[in-house]
Amino acid sequence: MNLEQPCIRISVRNLVEFILRHGDIDNRTGGADKDAMQQGSRIHRKIQRQQGAEYRAEVPLRYQIPCDGFILSVEGRADGIIELPKRVVVDEIKGVFKDLKRLEEPQLLHLAQAKCYAYIYAEQKNLEEIGVQMTYCNLDTEEIRRFRETYTRAELKKWFEKLVSEYEKWARYQMTWRAKRNASIKTVEFPFEYRDGQKKLVESVYRTILRKKKLFIQAPTGVGKTMAAVFPAVKAVGEELGEKIFYLTARTITRTVASQAFAILREQDLKMKVITLTAKEKICFCEETICNPDVCPYAKGHFDRVNDAVYELLTSTDEMSREVLEEQARKWKVCPFEMALDVSQWVDAVICDYNYVFDPNAHLKRFFGDGVKGEYLFLIDEAHNLVERGRAMYSSSICKEDFLKIKKLVKYGEPKLVSALESCNKQLLELKRECDGCQILNSVSHVYIKLLSLMTKLEEFIEECKDEVIRKEVLEFYFGIRNFIYIHDRQDDNYLIYSELSEEGKFYLHLFCVNPAGCLQEYMGKGNSTILFSATFLPINYYKKLLSTTKEDYAVYAESPFEPGKRLLLLGNDVSTKYTRRGPEMYRKYAEYVMHVIKGRTGNYLAFFPSYRFLEKVWEVFMELPQEQMEVVVQSQYMTEQEREEFLKKFEQERAHSLIGFCVMGGVFSEGIDLTEDKLIGAMIIGTGLPQVCLERELLKYYFDRKNLNGFDYAYLYPGMNKVLQSAGRVIRTDQDRGVITLLDDRFMDRQCQEVFPREWNDFQICNSENIEEKIAKFWKAEEQTDMK
């Protein structure tokens, strides 16, 4: 075997799931990938520990097959190998919620994994025959059922070689494409003249990838963060420092910017396949997203056709746009969403939402499942959003009233399920009686044990239920319970457990992930390197604490490339959004401030408010003021996508008078929108953006105070100031932009707020309602004189 040849690696699990899958997409067939749950991992370890001295657990196995021009390496880890005096048995363990009496034979893909390990071990140890044992364990009762079979090495060899031969064309494609891609990357150069600070960023990103570390980048708008991250990552892939780029974003608009960055590099004849994943609801061909063969023709027989559809696409085009994917899916009559996920396995870069990597309920299991690792490079855009998104992904809740609702649905003919629901409800009722609004709890393991028992009964019901309406409700409830069990298994001292009696009288049990860093790190650790970047990563230590668990992470502060003189930053010290000072007089003062700013120059402006209620109060007063000719647009709470687009289009139009948009901080118009040059010349930030006092924020404050950190800062100040920085960042987007930013709240005068200001804000001026017009007029006059030179 020539070890100098290129090597294509694939895990045993991915091999069998990819080649042997067949039939329909059908979301009615029970739960999901149970053995990937942490509870399954716990059962694995428990069963392994109970075996005798002849049992070896977690045995790494690898088999290399010489192919023409490359080596195919099939790799994995056998759950157990039992070495008896006259017989060797490979053990494959699977945790399920199913009643084991109903299990008539091993599941095809589970058995196929075990047979792969058996063949590899038989080859390595020169065994003429070998046993295969499938061990199924009920995750509730811990009851075990085993299936045993003995195979000769010859019959396993024939079966395994057929499996591998079907995969060989895919491995050959991968090797050929990789060589073509890497050769093209060598000739690619940075596509622009470097802006100030941008070259330093590019070097920092490359160096971080080379060292397999993590990098936090605080870089203001205009530095060119996207290309400064994408270019060195592409170069690193060409040098085989990573095999695939995942560009992760929180919003659709930033996914478009990332896609454009790759497109610019492809203008230099870069050979790189890039896919942007679109949400299932948006790309689905059916009116309603119901994934079963009775309703969706694309679900019927999907797995029989999808591999051929993907192979044809990969070998006929480098273009992986949504339009191309949809056309191919229609041609082969397969689900466009599931086909796109399969295509993502073979491309060089995937642009997608955070949840495809980090969310345990939605991540791409082929890349990030239990025991799966790869040489991935993570580029995380707008990474400040990952704190709250992470908390949501790794938290879970159950509601007592849901148990009663499901009990009513299934009460006839399901005594075991009804009994299990009553048992859970009883536990929750006891907790409800002890709860006075909110109670922090040390443990809910007694509830957890009851939920495990309930899961088995729910799974049986779902499999047998013929009423689709009832089944759908029970299935949704089932997924909620399953998630609660999963989160309970992974909780640690980064969590708070608490009960809550809501104002409507509903009783909830919450597993609240306060610090998501450990959970996020679990997935970042599946790749080589992570680059996190944002225009508002301040204070950096706050984000490091909540997004990473490693002390040796790098951090870079990129200086703004723009001339500070082109931007006027004013702090209004005679207004406040504090609740105690709100009232008609203050609303009027804010409305007048907005008018003062607009009077400075005809143009487009945005005013950002702390809440819709505050916005409406100021807007009402503003409309009563003596009006100059201007147009006013207002963000509403439940805008459709089309209404948002129409709102933004107003700022693209030319007009002879001013346009003012009233928006909320933290909303869709305060982050990610790009209004360059004269499309926006001023932003008024009304208030410090502090979140409203609520139970969850108070729990965050309590938690961080107990950790000897400033709880108020972590729960309120830093999240609030991030909204302020994001809103202010809408104004100066390019070196041609000029504009006014006003921070209107006397709390901006406080040291705590100013400590979070970016360095380029050290030239702020203080103003009040009496002198603001004068200061703005002076700024615009200076700009006009500059233009005349």
Beta strands 144-152 and 7-11, pairing class: unpaired
Return the pLDDT at 370: 72
Return the pLDDT at 361: 85
Return the pLDDT at 693: 93
The continuous run of DSSP H or E covering 483 comes out as helix 468-490
Instruction: Give the number of C-alpha atoms closer than 13 A to the C-alpha of residue 775, restricted to the C-beta side.
Output: 22
> Are the C-beta atoms of residues 648 and 727 closer than 8 Å to each other?
no
Nearest-angstrom CA–CA distance, 43 and 110: 16
Tens-place pLDDT, residues 186-195:
999 999 998 8
Task: Give percent of the chain above pLDDT 70.
Answer: 97
Rounded to the nearest 5°, which phi and psi values hold at 503? -60, -30
Round the average pLDDT of the chain to a whole number and report it. Answer: 92
Amino acid type, 206: Y
Determine the 3-state secondary structure of 217 from DSSP: strand
For residue 469, give both structure tokens: 């309406």
- 391 Cβ partners below 8 Å, 6+ apart? 512, 513, 514, 516
Tens-place pLDDT, residues 358-374:
998 888 887 887 767 78
Q: What b/e string do you get for 169-203 counting C-beta neighbours within 10 Å, with b at 16 or more?
A: ebbbebbebbeebeebbeebebeeeebebbeebbe
Residues 219, 222, 226: CA angle, nearest 5 degrees: 70
What's the whole-number mean pLDDT along residues 638-665? 93
Could you tell me the pLDDT band of residue 40, with boundaries at 50, 70 and 90?
low
Tens-place pLDDT, residues 576-625:
999 999 999 999 999 999 999 999 999 999 999 999 999 999 999 999 99
Could you tell me the pLDDT band of residue 106, with boundaries at 50, 70 and 90?
very high
> Are the C-beta atoms of residues 310 and 32 closer than 8 Å to each other?
no
Return the pLDDT at 789: 59
Give alpha helix (H) positions in 138-224.
153-186, 198-210
What's the whole-number mean pLDDT along residues 6-13? 89
User: How is 135-157 classified by DSSP, letter by letter?
Assistant: EEEETTT--EEEEEEEEEHHHHH
Distances (CA, A) of 112 to 24, 105, 171: 19, 13, 20
Has residue 295 got a pLDDT over 60?
Answer: yes
Amino acid type, 305: R
Omega within 30 of 0 (cis) for the link into 539:
yes
What's the whole-number mean pLDDT along residues 334-357? 96
Strands (E), 316-404: 349-353, 376-380, 396-399
Domains of the chain: 7-171 (3.90.320.10), 187-272+349-394+516-561 (3.40.50.300), 278-347 (no CATH), 396-513 (1.10.275.40), 564-788 (3.40.50.300)
Nearest-angstrom CA–CA distance, 341 and 228: 27
What's the whole-number mean pLDDT along residues 219-246? 94
Nearest-angstrom CA–CA distance, 538 and 219: 10
Determine the 3-state secondary structure of 743 from DSSP: strand
For residue 305, give both structure tokens: 């056709």
Nearest-angstrom CA–CA distance, 653 and 746: 35
Tens-place pLDDT, residues 552-575:
899 999 888 888 889 999 999 999
Residues 609, 688, 549: CA angle, nearest 5 degrees: 120
Could you tell me the pLDDT band of residue 469, with boundaries at 50, 70 and 90?
confident
pTM here? 0.91
Task: Give percent of the chain above pLDDT 90.
Answer: 77
Tens-place pLDDT, residues 442-466:
999 999 999 999 998 998 898 888 8
User: How is 538-599 classified by DSSP, letter by letter?
Assistant: -SHHHHHHHH---TT-EEEEPPP-S-GGGEEEEEE-S----GGG-SHHHHHHHHHHHHHHHH
Residues 294, 298, 304: CA angle, nearest 5 degrees: 100
For residue 149, give both structure tokens: 């079979």
Give alpha helix (H) positions in 239-301.
252-266, 280-283
Return the pLDDT at 18: 93
Distances (CA, A) of 359 to 363, 381, 680, 687: 5, 17, 36, 33
Could you tell me the pLDDT band of residue 32, with boundaries at 50, 70 and 90?
very low
Distances (CA, A) of 582 to 338, 578, 579, 608: 52, 6, 5, 16
Has residue 218 got a pLDDT over 50?
Answer: yes
Nearest-angstrom CA–CA distance, 142 and 754: 57
Whose structure tokens read 């909830």? Answer: 508
